[in-house]
């Protein structure tokens, strides 16, 4: 008989792993938490979902990576339990209806008590200015001690720029800010950066770690750092945060073709970085004969 329909109209590929990581949204219902689904179950969930917003496809094939219903999970965020907020949530991007670029979208959130039920709502859409009209990507969130939150990500124009949003609570609503608003976090000469990671040090200052892409994006000057006192006005540092050169314990080293998506493990008391996590690849594109993985590198505090 005829071949069955596939998720979002994509051809099934033997090396493409379709996975539903946080749940799906049937029409008129809340998101239902599901850990992992087979290809067939993902297909059924995608058919039942509203525009397949919450379906995540993972795999090495271009057809899988370019799926119009792909989303990115950014890790769980927990509310302030001491203040009675025992909700959990996770940020991910979504392609709005009619989106021409599935890699760029607004930011949505799935939130609820641990174990569900989960609620699914739009968190942030770009203000559609010239510098961010193609959508946004790579969201990162910082929950501040007073319960308010900062949201950072990058735009999808030819030169990718970092945006900042603020909200009274991590669940939103967020409004775009800048200097002046709404503008990119960094003014001209505007760096071409992506993958922002936000944190706050013990003195209350904000920091941002980024993948730097200006001309020498995948060479030695690869990691960028920015800082701010209020989270709205940012200064881009010209000091290199990290490079693509990794030294090993046996005194050898590897110069990676790509190193991006930085994140930090922080000391719980002093808020100092203990380890740098980054995605590394031995070739410019990991699925073309090379290898790629998440690399963890301890940070010497001496």
76 in a structural domain = no
φ and ψ at residue 39, rounded to 5 degrees? -55, -45
Is the predicted pLDDT of residue 256 greater than 80, yes or no? yes
How many domains does the chain contain in total?
A: 1
261 in a structural domain = yes
Higher pLDDT, 120 or 262: 262
52 in a structural domain = no
285 in a structural domain = yes
The two beta strands, 136-143 and 149-155, are: antiparallel
Q: Tell me the whole-structure pTM to 2 decimals.
A: 0.67
d(CA 180, CA 3): 54
Are 43 and 18 a contacting pair, CB within 8 Å?
yes
d(CA 255, CA 283): 10
82 in a structural domain = no
Higher pLDDT, 226 or 3: 226
Higher pLDDT, 91 or 169: 169
Alpha helices in the chain (DSSP H): 39-48, 62-65
Per the rule left: phi > 0, alpha: psi between -120 and 50, beta: everything else, 215 is left
- Nearest to residue 229, comparing CAs of 209, 207, 255, 213? 207
User: Mean pLDDT score of the chain, rounded to an integer?
Assistant: 68
260 in a structural domain = yes
Band (242; pLDDT cuts 50, 70, 90): very high
77 in a structural domain = no
pLDDT of residue 187: 73
Report the percentage of the chain scoring pLDDT > 90.
Answer: 25
- Nearest to residue 89, comparing CAs of 69, 68, 117, 70? 117
Band (170; pLDDT cuts 50, 70, 90): confident
pLDDT tens digits, residue range 54-98? 334 333 334 333 443 333 323 333 333 344 444 444 444 445 444
pLDDT tens digits, residue range 258-300? 889 999 999 989 999 999 999 998 887 655 667 888 999 999 8
251-278: b (≥16 Cβ within 10 Å) or e = eeeeebbbbbebbbebeeeebebeebeb
- Nearest to residue 109, comparing CAs of 200, 194, 173, 45? 173
CB count, 10 Å around CB of 230?
12
Residue 272 sits in which domain range?
A: 126-302
Band (108; pLDDT cuts 50, 70, 90): confident
In the 3-class helix/strand/coil scheme, how is 242-296 assigned residue by residue?
CCCEEECCCCCEEECCEEEEEEEEECCCCCCEEEEEEEEECCCCCCCCCCEEEEE
pLDDT of residue 149: 92
Question: What is the H or E stretch that residue 263 is in?
Answer: strand 258-266
Higher pLDDT, 105 or 47: 105
CB count, 10 Å around CB of 52?
26
Band (32; pLDDT cuts 50, 70, 90): very low
CA atoms within 13 A on the CB side of 76: 13
The encoded tokens of residue 49 equal 């979902």
Which residues lie below 8 Å from residue 257, measured CB to CB, with a gap of 6+?
218, 244, 281, 282, 283, 284, 290
Which residues lie below 8 Å from residue 98, measured CB to CB, with a gap of 6+?
none
pLDDT of residue 247: 92
Is the predicted pLDDT of residue 146 greater than 60, yes or no? yes
CATH code of 185's domain: 2.120.10.10
Is the predicted pLDDT of residue 255 greater than 70, yes or no? yes
48 in a structural domain = no
pLDDT of residue 72: 30
Pick the range with the lowest mean pLDDT from 30-34, 90-94, 154-158. 30-34
Are 237 and 224 a contacting pair, CB within 8 Å?
yes
Band (156; pLDDT cuts 50, 70, 90): confident
pLDDT of residue 238: 83
């Amino acid at each position: 008989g005829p071949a069955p329909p596939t998720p979002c109209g994509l051809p099934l590929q033997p090396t493409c792993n379709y996975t539903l990581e946080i749940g799906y949204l049937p029409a008129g219902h809340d998101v239902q938490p599901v850990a992992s689904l087979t290809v067939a179950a993902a297909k059924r969930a995608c058919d039942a979902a509203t525009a397949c917003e919450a379906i995540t496809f993972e795999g090495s094939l271009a057809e899988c990576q370019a799926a119009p219903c792909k989303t990115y999970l950014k890790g769980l965020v927990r509310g302030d339990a001491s203040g009675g907020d025992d909700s959990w949530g996770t940020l991910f991007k979504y392609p709005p209806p009619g989106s021409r670029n599935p890699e760029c979208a607004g930011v949505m959130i799935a939130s609820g008590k641990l174990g569900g039920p989960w609620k699914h709502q739009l968190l942030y859409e770009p203000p559609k200015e010239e510098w961010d009209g193609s959508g946004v990507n790579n969201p990162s969130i910082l929950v501040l001690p007073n319960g308010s939150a900062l949201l950072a990500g990058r735009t999808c124009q030819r030169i990718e720029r970092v945006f900042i949003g603020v909200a009274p609570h991590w669940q939103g609503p967020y409004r775009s800010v800048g200097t002046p608003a709404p503008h990119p976090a960094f003014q001209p000469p505007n760096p071409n950066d992506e993958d922002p990671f936000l944190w706050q040090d013990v003195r209350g200052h904000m920091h941002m770690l980024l993948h730097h892409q200006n001309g020498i994006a995948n060479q030695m000057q690869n990691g960028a750092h920015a800082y701010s006192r209020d989270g709205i006005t940012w200064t881009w540092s010209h000091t290199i945060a990290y490079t693509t050169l990794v030294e090993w314990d046996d005194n050898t080293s590897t110069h990676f073709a790509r190193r991006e998506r930085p994140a930090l493990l922080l000391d719980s008391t002093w808020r100092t970085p203990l380890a740098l996590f980054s995605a590394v690849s031995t070739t410019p594109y990991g699925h073309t004969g090379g290898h790629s993985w998440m690399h963890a590198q301890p940070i010497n505090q001496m």
